[in-house]
């Protein structure tokens, strides 16, 4: 649950409404117990051979100090998955249809697939996105591309706008 810039762990069994009052400094037991149960569940899943990671290093550190000594057996998402991509020069690249037309995103998606036809990561991300990512407000997409690929893709989208395949507001 996010409150402004602060995230807290809602205790198991607590209604989402009213959990803001359960700040760790004032009532740590329900939160700590829920965090421990989550980390223990992640460890059990990992032991079954299922890829498991935690998106919050602070949760694992907190659990290691108090309740779950092997909490860091679960890798964090950044060191396990994101950092290796950054080391290769791959990072998030976002595009949005300023026209508000979801078809413009579909055209840009196809351009990304054409440019990176050999890139399994791009194919696995872009292909299902059109069917499974709901457009909210402005149609947009994010995909992980290499540094040079981001430049080439930006030029390709400019060409699509110039040729009238993608509309853009001026």
147: nearest Cα among 105, 85, 77, 95: 85
pLDDT tens digit at each of 170 positions of the chain: 333 344 445 555 555 544 455 455 555 566 777 888 888 898 999 999 999 888 876 778 878 776 888 988 988 888 888 899 899 898 888 888 888 888 899 999 999 999 988 888 888 888 888 788 777 778 888 888 888 889 999 999 999 999 999 987 65
Q: State residue 159's pLDDT score.
A: 95
Q: State residue 6's pLDDT score.
A: 41
d(CA 29, CA 8): 13
Q: Is 141 exposed, middle or buried (0-12, 13-18, 19+ CB in 10 A)?
A: buried
Query: Can you read off the two tokens belonging to residue 114?
Result: 């054409």
The domains located in the chain, with CATH, are 2-81 (3.40.50.10730), 89-162 (no CATH)
* Active site residues per annotation: 143
Q: State residue 37's pLDDT score.
A: 85
Query: Can you read off the two tokens belonging to residue 6?
Result: 């602060």
Query: Can you read off the two tokens belonging to residue 13?
Result: 């069994």
User: What predicted TM-score, i.e. pTM, was given to this entire model?
Assistant: 0.60
């Amino acid at each position: 649950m996010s409150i402004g810039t602060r995230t807290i762990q809602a205790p198991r069994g607590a209604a989402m409404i009213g959990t803001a009052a359960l700040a760790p400094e004032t009532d740590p037991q329900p939160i700590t117990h829920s965090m421990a149960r989550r980390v223990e569940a992640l460890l059990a899943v990992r032991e079954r051979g299922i890829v498991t990671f935690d998106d919050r290093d602070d949760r694992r550190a907190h659990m290691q100090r108090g309740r779950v000594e092997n909490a860091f057996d679960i890798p964090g998402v950044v060191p396990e998955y994101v950092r290796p991509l950054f080391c290769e020069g791959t990072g998030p690249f976002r595009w949005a249809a300023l026209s508000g037309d979801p078809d413009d995103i579909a055209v840009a998606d196809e351009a990304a697939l054409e440019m990176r036809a050999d890139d399994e990561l791009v194919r696995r991300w872009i292909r299902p996105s059109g069917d499974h990512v709901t457009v909210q407000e402005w149609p947009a997409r994010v995909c992980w591309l290499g540094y040079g690929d981001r430049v080439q893709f930006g030029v390709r989208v400019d060409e699509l706008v110039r040729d009238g395949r993608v509309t853009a507001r001026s």
